[in-house]
Amino acid sequence: MSLIRLAIEKAKSAGVGWVAANNSNHYGIAGWYSLQAAQAGLIGLSFTNTSPLQTPTRAKAAALGTNPLTVAAPAKNGETFFLDMATTAVALGKIEIQNRKNEPLPEGWAIDKSGKVTTDGRVAMQEGCLLPLGGTEINSGYKGYGLAFMVELFCGILSGSDYGPKIRRWLEADRPANLGQCFIAVDPNCFAPGFSDRLQDMMDFCRNMEPTESSKPVLVAGDPEKMHMDKVNRQGGITYLQNQIDASAALAEKLGVDAMKSVIRS
Ligand SMILES: NC(=O)c1ccc[n+]([C@@H]2O[C@H](COP(=O)([O-])OP(=O)(O)OC[C@H]3O[C@@H](n4cnc5c(N)ncnc54)[C@H](O)[C@@H]3O)[C@@H](O)[C@H]2O)c1
């Protein structure tokens, strides 16, 4: 049984299910797990530690991972509040995409090995590290650092897996990853009645606020992903950059497997 399913079963019988895993590996999208709890009518949370990539505020080397956190909860009519975020300013994949597009990083995503903010994505990946959510200290990056530490507390430190700088480095496979993860499910029906009504009311209130730019409506967490999924469904597939397709084909050849199939559309 998957560990979020175990947490869901525990929450269904005891109100709360809290499960920690050690000796794990990269678990992909954190929200994959929280959403399963929301689909079962529960509040779902999940956390994972990762290879060290994030610098603590005032340091110039990595000690924590991109340590994502997620919470999902059922509102009305199949709607879900769905927050799923890295605790670094951006997830590593966004730096990879900037590099593939040959575009500089915005200031505040990463530092070089001397601790200075860099806009060079290759420097960030090869010798620097990612800044916490918020960026530098003046922009309250210490809050992202604190959240990443909280994730580590729930993951490696709680479960007894490797943690922080003790985790193997990104892309190195010299030893098992031994990551820690945490899966939580909470039954809102154990609290005040009307949870989903109030959640929907709050989401609708935010969405109906007057935006600063009329073309950009106020969203709640999960809306961008839902809009993107609708767009992908309309287009009949995911749009990739040519060099993403080339990199994937080169990897397929190296591994001796079929390359990803794609069609070119103008
Ligand atoms: N397994 C791992 O090691 C690992 C590590 C890091 C990240 N990740 C995954 O990478 C993915 C991307 O993470 P990210 O931090 O880049 O996400 P992101 O910055 O794209 O989005 C973060 C959250 O903000 C919300 N959001 C975005 N724009 C919004 C707006 N205008 N108004 C309101 N809410 C808004 C999104 O719905 C989302 O919940 C996540 O699925 C995460 O779990 C996995």
Examine residue 141 and state whether it is found in any structural domain, yes or no.
yes
> What separation in Å is there between the alpha carbon of 49 and the centre of ligand 1?
15
Domain that holds residue 48: 3-89+131-219
Average pLDDT over residues 198-204: 98
Residue 258 neighbours by CB under 8 Å, 6+ apart: 252
Examine residue 10 and state whether it is found in any structural domain, yes or no.
yes
Give the β-pairing of 43-48 and 69-74: antiparallel
Instruction: Answer yes or no: are the C-beta atoms of 56 and 209 closer than 8 Å.
Output: no
Residue bearing the CA closest to ligand 1, atom 28: 224
- Tell me the C-alpha distance between 157 and 135, whole Å: 25
- Tell me the C-alpha distance between 66 and 96, whole Å: 14
Number of compact structural domains in the chain: 1
Examine residue 48 and state whether it is found in any structural domain, yes or no.
yes
Examine residue 73 and state whether it is found in any structural domain, yes or no.
yes
Examine residue 244 and state whether it is found in any structural domain, yes or no.
no
Pocket mutation for ligand 1, best pick of 69, 80, 84 (most atoms within 8 Å of C-beta): 84
Average pLDDT over residues 40-54: 97
pLDDT given for residue 128 in this prediction: 85
Examine residue 256 and state whether it is found in any structural domain, yes or no.
no
Examine residue 236 and state whether it is found in any structural domain, yes or no.
no
Which CATH number belongs to the domain containing residue 64 in this structure? Answer: 3.30.1370.60
Examine residue 248 and state whether it is found in any structural domain, yes or no.
no
Ranges of H-type helices in 15-57: 31-39
Q: What is the pLDDT of residues 121-179, one digit of tens each?
A: 999 988 889 999 999 999 999 999 999 999 999 999 999 999 999 999 988 989 999 99
Residue bearing the CA closest to ligand 1, atom 21: 85
Instruction: Answer yes or no: are the C-beta atoms of 147 and 89 closer than 8 Å.
Output: no
